[in-house]
A and B are shown apart, each in its own frame.
Chain A
Amino acid sequence: MAIFSVYVVNKAGGLIYQLDHYAPRAESEKTFGFPLELVLRPHDERVLVAFGQRDGVRVGHAVLAINGLEVNGRLTADGRDVLEFLSSPANFPVAIRFGRPRLSSNEKLMLASMFHSLFAIGSQLSPEPGSSGIEMLETDTFKLHCFQTLTGIKFVVLADPRQSGIDSLLRKIYEIYSDFALKNPFYSLEMPIRCELFDQHLKLALEVAEKAGPFGPGL
């Protein structure tokens, strides 16, 4: 059971807070001979596996490190192009570490505004009148729970599909937001939340929710 991350989206679709609470590590390191048994392709400033799943390396994984040295986007640690480096037999055998690419801050902003519009379309395409937007989105690896307040702020929690007590957690986060972000005189509305107390209480609430599940009735 785990809670993966929390997003707070303002009513314009801007991401004003994001916290990665727990990120499962899915990385694998392997030594390869020439030629590589995988097809690699550049995508969004990263080198991703396009074809050829083996030994824990999956399609969509990014090259994270070569010979123990972290890569820098599409360049190796010493500034050479990763694909060029891997196309030269002289550099083999080579140890490559693969893993799921981490989301950059820009990608998080983009995904938050993407969810904002998905939420609206979900409500527009409803076959029943008076429907809200997406409240829960389920996949085989995680469940996304969303709570929209009357003022239009969305609290989004990504959690394990089996994690319980998320509804009360969302209301608890709203309470923490009201207490520690809105009452902070240095916080301006609709802007990114940079309040230490908000951070602390949110982390605490996530830990409580992971261990105990629900916060009890009424909260």
Chain B
Amino acid sequence: MTVHSLYLFDRNGICLHYSEWNRKKQAGISKEEEFKLMYGMLFSIRSFVSKMSPLDMKEGFLSFQTSKYKLHYYETPTGLKVVMNTDLGVGNIRDVLHQIYSYIYVEYVVKNPLCNLNEPIQSELFRSKLDTFVRSLPFFSARAG
């Protein structure tokens, strides 16, 4: 099991943070383009899912998987989106994504008056805390293959 990458988007679609750990393939476009494409995909999925659903939804879109990876999605009521790509063996990690929001984003970005919201996060403390947190996850093991 492994974690490939993590994206944080704000409610306007700005990519606040991106980090990657065991990513084997790049998208073949610049990072800015990739963030736009990723946000556009998520935005479309949200609208797609809300129209397709036969019942009223509470949490909405949770995750999708392809033959090679799984994308986990968590959105707060304020519109902050936490997106994590892992391999297929990882189950529901909603609580983990929520912890990233509440223990790391809120603690080291929202409570830091020098961090401007709505723009990419520069804080080195946030980066290192996030990296430590993700590396300590039970399903983060960088074993090859």
- Chain A contact surface mostly: loop
Chain B residue numbers with a CB within 8 Å of A141 are 53-58
Smallest CB–CB gap between A131 and chain B, Å? 4
Count residues of chain B with CB under 8 A from any CB of chain A.
Answer: 41
Known: A4-B54, A130-B68, A140-B58. A125 touches B45 (CB 8 A): no
A-B contact count (CB 8 A): 120
Which residues on B are within 8 Å of A, measured CB to CB? Answer: 4-5, 20, 22-25, 27-28, 34, 37-38, 40-41, 44-45, 48-69, 71, 85, 87
Q: In the docked arrangement, what's the CA distance between A134 and B24, Å?
A: 19
Cβ contacts under 8 Å, B64 to chain A: 122, 134, 136-138
Provide the bound-state CA to CA distance between A58 and B55, in Å: 11
Query: Out of A22, A24, A60, A135, which one reaches B66, CB within 8 Å?
Result: A135
Contacts of B56 in A (CB 8 A): 26, 58, 60-61, 100, 141
Q: In the bound complex, do residue A126 and residue B57 qualify as a contact, i.e. CB atoms below 8 Å apart?
A: no
Would you give the shortest CB distance from A160 to chain B, in whole angstroms? 9
Is the Cβ of B51 less than 8 Å from the Cβ of A107? yes
**Contact between B54 and A132, CB atoms less than 8 A apart:** no
Please indicate the chain B residues that have their CB under 8 angstroms from the CB of A39 in the complex.
none
A139 on interface, CB distance cutoff 8 Å = yes
Q: Pick the contact of A118: B20, B45, B55, B69 (CB < 8 A).
A: B45
Q: A124: which B residues are within 8 A, CB to CB?
A: 27-28, 37
Q: Is the CB of B48 within 8 A of A126?
A: no
**Known A140-B58, A140-B59, A141-B55: A131·B44 in contact at CB below 8 Å:** no
Q: Which residues of B contact A61 (CB under 8 A)?
A: 56
13 contacts between A and B (CB under 8 A): A5-B54, A107-B51, A127-B4, A127-B24, A128-B25, A128-B87, A129-B25, A134-B65, A134-B66, A138-B64, A139-B49, A140-B57, A140-B59
